[in-house]
Structure formats: structure tokens, C-alpha cells
Amino acid sequence: MALVEVKVPDIGDFDEVSVIELLVKPGDAVKAEQSLITVESDKASMEIPSSHAGVVQSISVQLGDKVKQGSVIVLLQAADAAPTAQPATQPAAQASAVASSPAPAAAVAAPASPAAPSPVGALEVRVPDIGDFKDVTVIEVLVKPGDAVKLEQSLITVESDKASMEIPSSAAGVIKQLMVKLGDKINIGDLLAVLEGAAPAVSPAATSAGPAAPAAASVVAAVASPAANAPAPIATLAAPAHSPTAAAMGLPHASPSVRKFARELGVPLEEVKGSGPKGRITQDDVQAFTKAVMAGAAQTRAQAAKAPAAVSGGGGTELGLIPWPKVDFAKFGPIERKEMSRIKKISGANLLRNAVLIPAVTNHDDADITELEAFRVATNKDNEKSGIKVTMLAFLIKACVAALKKFPEFNSSLDGDALIYKQYWHIGFAADTPNGLMVPVVKDADKKGILQISQEMGELAKKAREGKLSPAEMSGATFTISSLGGIGGRYFTPIINAPEVAILGVCKSTMEPVWNGKEFVPRLMLPLSLTWDHRVIDGAAAARFNAYLGQILGDMRRVLL
Ligand code: CAO
């Protein structure tokens, strides 16, 4: 054990930056590369991580202090005197070790050269030098074609496995073309957008480490603010109700670690009030918000912001629940504690919201699929060579589209006191994966045949299991099917995947004696469980939906009518 001074590493052009957040306190055990403080210049912010693991003895800086390369941040009782990458014999070595950690060295805007201002025309905005970030994933697209953007307004958020950052625009103008989409992998120099309109009067040029400035009217984005990423738009069984673009309306001000923390808890940062400098959201704010929601205090606010219709009848009430039981399980026997996967944490928060906010009712019914199953088996025989396997789920998707067309409110979403009727039929299906439930979406299922749907489902389910689904492949569903048919069970009560208003649960079909008016005959019966939002749908409509679905599954030729 040795005492080690952790110093500010080489942080590029960041000179004399302000300390805006202290992320640790004396006595805290920190891991190597754990963020210690957040600093901010007038252009960007970044976290400074620890070069060693150990216990914080004292903190050498205060909020508001100006620090620069070599300033001592904390005194650490190090578990191991060796820094994370290179020996800490001198500040520079220590700095470079730290610089390769989660907080990327931000490229800082430099004044444009006199030649830079170009006449009104097309301007290319490219990915600037984003330090160690390579092949990073676009997790948010904050603008769309036609949007007017200001200089340095964030265009997208990217995320590596270590941290996230926003990529701002290097020029003001109107977005003519957006060259990236959710899920894309990007690297330094990639073209993000083409702007037109305003001349980049004060557009920044690339830093020395940045890509070479493209010729003529193209401008290279040069500021990479590491300070953001809102909840990733991962569609789980309960996809977030808000769209990723909502964040663009007023991006919350928070450091990457706070954003990561918020995302893990499923906390929407747009709804958190920041108590830090310039309204910055701190970890304490996120914790306080979570506590308030759990205690019911923020329920009304959450409803108003995320499910407006939930309060359109006149204000929510506090849940007034008793606290969650705290049990020392180890007292009763051996235990093992395991962190839940990120997907489970996100889907858990969404499921809780949907279960609490939606007045959901489930209708159970059975469909006679005797003939359909025979047809399915025959189809699979005929198509043996194609490698495409047709399961009942593909027919269910097609049958649901027909029922959704007949009962359009099942394909709608609440928007305040209005209903949005969607003129497209994108069907999500719950897929069981090692990391938790995912809901890939078969887009435009109305335009696809059973074989195409089966093939797509197979590919999407495989990607889901491998954790390779892109956000785009999990968004846009208008209705979801959760099939446990391959596993078993009779009926269950699935939770609606907001902002959808209904979900169909399906269990394993069984051969049953069915009375045909004269005698009992063996029929293959498929158990259906339809959960619906009672604010939008009533029981009679739900019963009719199930009955119609049953008729279609009984004779798929009805789909053609
Ligand atoms: N009745 C009887 N058998 C059924 C059936 C049903 N309703 N649905 C599927 N089967 C059969 C299939 O025909 C297949 O049989 P064979 O192996 O003999 O060919 C077998 O069950 C396995 O099917 P599958 O699960 O591979 O395929 P699928 O198209 O039915 O489902 C998928 C695909 C991805 C939805 C599924 O694998 C899955 O993950 N299901 C779990 C969904 C889930 O967890 N829902 C709960 C959400 S709420 O927590």
C-alpha cells in the first residue's frame, strides 16, 4: 500500500478548466479508471479518472477550482502503486495512462482560419477526433433533415463500451442530409451530415489531432463534448415511451457517468432537475429522483411527461406504498449477489411503469388451429430445402394484422386526450435471450407473406440472442405478440409494451375434446391471452378482437377477404 497523488493528465487543449463535480469523497474505495471529478471548459466537459485503484485519503480540489495538467486531484492509498497502464514515475506517464481511460481527450474548437467562412452552400459535418473512441455506436440521433442547427449543437450521441459522448455540429445551418442512423458504427472523419444555409462564420476547425480539413466548402466538426447520452432507445418488452428525438428539445446537462447511472436505473434525465452548477444533473439528483418516484412523489410528474393520457382524467395520486422489504438474506443461508444485465434493468423500469400506469385487462380465449397446424406442417415439408422453418408465430403475426385492421384502436397509441391511429402494421415479438427479453419488430407485416415473415423472424431472433439487434430493429412496433408456445403453459397476462395499447400472449396448443353439436371431436386448441389498455379499448371490443382472431386462425383464407 502506498500513497499516490492522482494528477490531472494531459487533457489536450483543456487549460485551466473548472472543477464542476466531485465524484468521490475521502474514505471511498475507487477502482482504477473510475471517474474522480468532472471538469468543464466553455466548450466541453470531461471526467478525470483515477490512475490507480485504492482508497481516497483526501481531495485536493474543490468545486469551482481551476485545474490543469499536473494539478493534484486526490491523495490515494493505492492498492497497487503501479498505474493502470504505464509507470507513474512522472506526471506525463501517468497522464497518458489516464488519457486512455473512459474519459476521452476532447478535441477543442479552434478559431477558423480566415479562409474558412464559405459562402452559403453545402457544408459537410464530419466526426472529429474522438480520442480512443473507435467504431462507436450511434445511440441517439438528435436532429432530422430540415432542422436548423446552431454551431456546436449536438447532432448525435455515440457510445463505446466505456463511455458516451455527443458529437456537435461544426457549423450552423439547415440539415439537408443526415448520413447516420441509430446503430451505425462511426469513426473519425466519417460524414455525419450535410448542412446548407448559413455560412459558418465562427465554425471551428479540426484540432491538430483531427482529420485533415476537407476541401472547399466542407467543414470538419471539431468539438467532441463527452458530456451526454440520454437513455438508449432500447426497445425491450416495454420500450421507453419517449422517442430518442424528444431529448433534442432540451438536452439535459449531465456528465457521462451520471447519464450511464441514469440509464441503468431507467431514469429519464429530461425529467430530473439539476442542482449542480448551471443546472447540471448530479448523481445525487438522479438518486433523489429515483427515491421520489419509488415513493410515489414524482408519479404525477412522470405521468404528465411520459403518459399524458394517464392524467388527462385529472391528476394522478401518490401510490402511498409501504417501503420495499429489506431482508438480510445471508442470515437464513448462503447467498450470491449478481448484478442484473443492463437489458433487465432497463426493461424492469419500463415494465414497472407500464404495469402501474396502464389500466390493463386480459381476456383469455382459445383458437381452433387444427387445419392451420396441418397446413403449417405441410408447408414446412414442401419448403424443407429452403431452410425456412414456419412456426405458428408467423401465422399469428399475419392473423393479428388482419384483426388490427378490423379493430384499428388496437393499433393506436394515446397522445394526451387523442388517439394516434397508425396506418402501418409493425409487429413486435418477444424473444427470450440470455440477457433478458428483447422485442424485435417485423416491419410492414401486412405486406409480407408467411415465408418472408418466418425468415425475418428467424434472423431477428438469432440477432436478439447474440445481442446484435440494432435499435432500429427494435423500434416502431404497433402491436406485440409474446409467444410461450414453444415452451408451455396455458394462459398468462402479458404487460403492454407502451406506447402500444395491446399485446397478445400465446401459449402451447393442445389437443382437446371439443363439442361440435353432436359429439366431442379432437381439435388442436391454441390458448390466447389479450391484454389491452382500458383507456382506449373496452371489454366488448377485446372479446370481438379475440373472436375474430380465432376465426382467422381457424381459416386463414379469411385474411384474403
Ligand atoms: N403451440 C405448440 N407448439 C408451438 C407453439 C404453440 N403455440 N409455438 C411454437 N411451437 C413449437 C414450434 O413449432 C417448434 O416446434 P418444433 O421444434 O417441433 O419445430 C417449437 O415450439 C419451438 O418454437 P420456437 O420457440 O423456436 O419458435 P417460435 O416461432 O414459436 O418462437 C421466439 C420464436 C423467438 C418468439 C421464441 O423462441 C421465444 O423466444 N419465445 C419466448 C418469448 C417470451 O419469453 N415471452 C414471454 C414474455 S413475458 O415475460
Ligand 1 lined by 482 (C-beta under 6 Å): yes
Alpha-carbon torsion (548, 550, 553, 557), positive or negative: negative
Higher pLDDT, 389 or 271: 389
Say whether pLDDT at 554 is over 60.
yes
pLDDT at 541: 98
Ligand 1 lined by 429 (C-beta under 6 Å): yes
Find the mean pLDDT for residues 381-397. Answer: 93
Residue 507 CA: nearest ligand 1 atom is 7
* Contact between 470 and 447 (Cβ < 8 Å): no
Length of the chain as a residue count:
561
pLDDT at 480: 98
Residue 361: strand pairing partners: 532
Find the mean pLDDT for residues 354-379. Answer: 97
Ligand 1 lined by 442 (C-beta under 6 Å): no
* Contact between 523 and 553 (Cβ < 8 Å): no
* Contact between 84 and 101 (Cβ < 8 Å): yes
Say whether pLDDT at 234 is over 50.
no
**Cell 396502464 appears where?**
358
Classify residue 85 as left (phi > 0), alpha (psi -120 to 50) or beta. alpha
Is residue 226 very low, low, confident or very high in pLDDT (cuts 50, 70, 90)? very low
Residue 492 CA: nearest ligand 1 atom is 48
Query: Which residue's alpha carbon is nearest to atom 16 within ligand 1?
Result: 486
Return the C-alpha cell found at 104. 476521452
Catalytic residues: 534
Query: Which residue's alpha carbon is nearest to atom 26 within ligand 1?
Result: 486
Ligand 1 lined by 461 (C-beta under 6 Å): yes
Higher pLDDT, 233 or 167: 167
pLDDT tens column, 437-489: 999 999 999 999 999 999 999 999 999 999 899 989 999 999 999 999 999 99
- Ligand 1 centre distance from Cα of residue 192 (Å): 40
Is residue 499 very low, low, confident or very high in pLDDT (cuts 50, 70, 90)? very high
- Ligand 1 centre distance from Cα of residue 472 (Å): 23
pLDDT at 128: 84
Find the mean pLDDT for residues 67-93. Answer: 64
- Ligand 1 centre distance from Cα of residue 482 (Å): 9
Ligand 1 lined by 388 (C-beta under 6 Å): no
Helix (H) or strand (E) holding 377: helix 370-382
Query: What is Dmax (Cα atoms) for the chain?
Result: 93
Ligand 1 lined by 483 (C-beta under 6 Å): yes
> Which among 347, 392, 457 is the best mutation to test ligand 1's pocket, defined by most ligand atoms within 8 Å of the CB?
392
- Ligand 1 centre distance from Cα of residue 488 (Å): 9
Higher pLDDT, 120 or 267: 267
pLDDT at 161: 65
pLDDT tens column, 403-450: 999 999 999 999 999 999 999 999 999 999 998 899 999 999 999 999
pLDDT tens column, 99-143: 223 333 333 333 333 333 334 568 888 988 776 678 888 888 889
**pTM of the predicted protein model:** 0.54
